Structure 1
């Protein structure tokens, strides 16, 4: 069912009415600046209509004109009681003290009640607007309380922190493994090229059906399989007696031999004669060896946990704050509450086993190991003490087992003849 923001519209209409009330109030013309003057009533009707005389306080001139006197004022202010022997009375009025009408007599009845009507309309609009605004706020808050049930920002924050730790330990372990591959690749490539440089070009003959003229290649200076790979198909085509098809077949056969050599040869690690390449490889493996099997388990656990947390965190976005929950639909709120329940279960389990702390410790070990042994001294010492672990880990990562240094075979001493 689609959510209809009824109380929001009620609140909006109330605010609009209050704004209209303010506009009507501002449209009421204001009273000009006035000054009170004494009026001499020359004649007066019972309904208050009269003719008055007054002195302009600004130009000090007398004026006479019709006016609406206060018919209910005290009788002693009216003729003939006000001034014995005359038909004059007394009243008070106001003259305009500013603008073009300065000095003219001002009557409070000039607007004929228009200002009072506008003020009444403004008051009515304000009253209705205030009532609607109050109803919108009260009804909206009551409805919001029911809608925001299930908001658990702390649970969502804890789950995000756990997911971040799981993701980081996975990335740190993957980075350490990739460092081993990057250090191993050039050494392995060097060993393969060394093998192919010792492999005569005649070895290609059996792989392309005997059509390759090895002597022609040797006469042209191409004597090893590595030189075939270095030359490429185009250079081989330029050799006398070698056509395009033969060149392509020779190059294909050379690549096959290179693949076979890559599977057969292995990197040599010799602690007595280290160089920059082998030191970098041993140092990279040393990081994982020192981190121990726990690093791999933590990385695998972090990957699995992150895969489980990601969809739950996506569904739990509405439960991360009141604003998100208020803007969510019924289905989103239902999924958010279900996701929060699942997250709480996972968080309780992770807290019992100390998973977040374990992830953090493994990440620290992997990062610290990579920076603490720049010269590789600790790595070579560790390699000499636990070479089997280094070989096993390197075989697991690269699929190729390194070899140790070649030791000269001990000469057998012949027993002296008796």
Structure 2
């Protein structure tokens, strides 16, 4: 089952609502410019209701009006502590500086009904916060399940095992193909250029350890293939986040299965042995040099080459035994 990005959609919805609110704010009417001025508090009640005066530079006179002062401001700013002689208090306010109402005070205490943009913003911001918080909490188990380093080590081990097995099979196939087309010289002096001697020389120089490495590579390839496929989501953060619960559980089990295989192989030097076998089996790529060295080695021990060719060549049933078998079969039928 694939992971359903629920909180991602919550965040998306929240951002859409916030964007709509910002768009409505931008398209709405511009608020008039204001500037902060000092107000003289003539009279003040305990709830902050007061009467203030201020100089109006546009009407060129001092004006008075009701205002909502801050009741929690310091007592030193209230009457009569602020001015014992005139028993005035002090407050600040904002005066409109443009429009037909310039010179008037901006009444910050006036409660306006929330607009559509305010409502969208009120719902959008909590959705964004909920989506971010819930998504991160939900992602924690998937983040902790990432085992990229182990999966990469297992992948490298599998590739080295497959390469060693394929290189050995390729060298054996080349020797068998050359054996069907050519024959070994009877004497030790063959002269360079014999494809059969060169193919056998590659296997001879690689030695029996190459054959053992190839067998180990085939076994490791089969053993690692299934767990590597199941552990694919654990190879990276993105794949683990996109995987569903069942895939994450399977990946965790596969990683647990891969760990002892990889650690055991590295502890016993298996990757190095596989890599060395591949290098030894690729000696024949330099054809001219390989042919010269193979001819020299064959001249020193031709018997070893014949024994190696006999071991690689499938044994055939002699014609005489085949004829005897057919004669026995006819005798049985006639009897």
Question: Taking structure 1 as reference, are residues 375 and 336 closer, same or farther at Cα in structure 2, changes over 3 Å only?
Answer: closer
Question: Taking structure 1 as reference, are residues 312 and 337 closer, same or farther at Cα in structure 2, changes over 3 Å only?
Answer: same
Q: Quick one: distance in 2 between partners of 1:380 and 1:3? A: 63
Q: Quick one: distance in 1 between partners of 2:205 and 2:136? A: 58
Q: 1:271 aligns with which of 182, 188, 205?
A: 188
How far is 1:186 from its partner? 2.6
Match of residue 347 from structure 1: 262
CA contact (8 A) 2:230 2:251 kept: yes
How far is 1:268 from its partner? 3.9
CA contact (8 A) 2:17 2:124 kept: yes
How far is 1:31 from its partner? 6.7
Q: Quick one: distance in 2 between partners of 1:159 and 1:348? A: 9
CA contact (8 A) 1:28 1:119 kept: no
Match of residue 158 from structure 1: 153
* Cα deviation 1:255-311 (Å, max 9, x = unaligned): xxxxxxxxxxx65454325364xx221011101101100111111110110111111
**2:305 counterpart of 1:390:** yes
Q: 2:236 aligns with which of 321, 346, 354?
A: 321
CA contact (8 A) 1:284 1:370 kept: no
CA contact (8 A) 1:283 1:373 kept: no
Match of residue 332 from structure 1: 247
Q: Quick one: distance in 2 between partners of 1:3 and 1:178? A: 47
Other structure's SS at 1:343 match: helix
Q: 2:169 aligns with which of 152, 164, 174?
A: 174
How far is 1:133 from its partner? 0.7
* Cα deviation 1:173-230 (Å, max 9, x = unaligned): 122222223333332xxxxxxxxxxxxxxxxxxxxxxxxxxxxxxxxxxxxxxxxxxx
5+ residue gaps, structure 1: 34-68, 76-91, 96-105, 109-115, 188-265, 402-418
Match of residue 208 from structure 2: 293
Q: 1:371 aligns with which of 265, 286, 290?
A: 286
How far is 1:376 from its partner? 2.2
Match of residue 22 from structure 2: 22
Q: Quick one: distance in 1 between partners of 2:186 and 2:164? A: 29
Instruction: Figure out how many residues of one structure are paired with residues of the other and give that number.
Output: 253
* Cα deviation 1:60-107 (Å, max 9, x = unaligned): xxxxxxxxx9xx9449xxxxxxxxxxxxxxxx9857xxxxxxxxxx56
Question: Taking structure 1 as reference, are residues 150 and 94 closer, same or farther at Cα in structure 2, changes over 3 Å only?
Answer: closer
Question: Taking structure 1 as reference, are residues 6 and 272 closer, same or farther at Cα in structure 2, changes over 3 Å only?
Answer: closer
* Cα deviation 1:375-398 (Å, max 9, x = unaligned): 623212322333333222212333
Q: Which structure carries more relative contact order (alpha carbon 8 Å, separation 6+)?
A: 2
Match of residue 282 from structure 1: 197
Question: Taking structure 1 as reference, are residues 32 and 288 closer, same or farther at Cα in structure 2, changes over 3 Å only?
Answer: same
Q: Quick one: distance in 2 between partners of 1:160 and 1:4? A: 29
Max Rg structure: 1
Q: Give TM-score scaled by structure 1 length.
A: 0.54
How far is 1:345 from its partner? 0.7
CA contact (8 A) 1:7 1:136 kept: yes
How far is 1:124 from its partner? 3.3
* Cα deviation 1:96-133 (Å, max 9, x = unaligned): xxxxxxxxxx568xxxxxxx989843233223212111
Q: Quick one: distance in 2 between partners of 1:19 and 1:306? A: 54
How far is 1:8 from its partner? 2.4
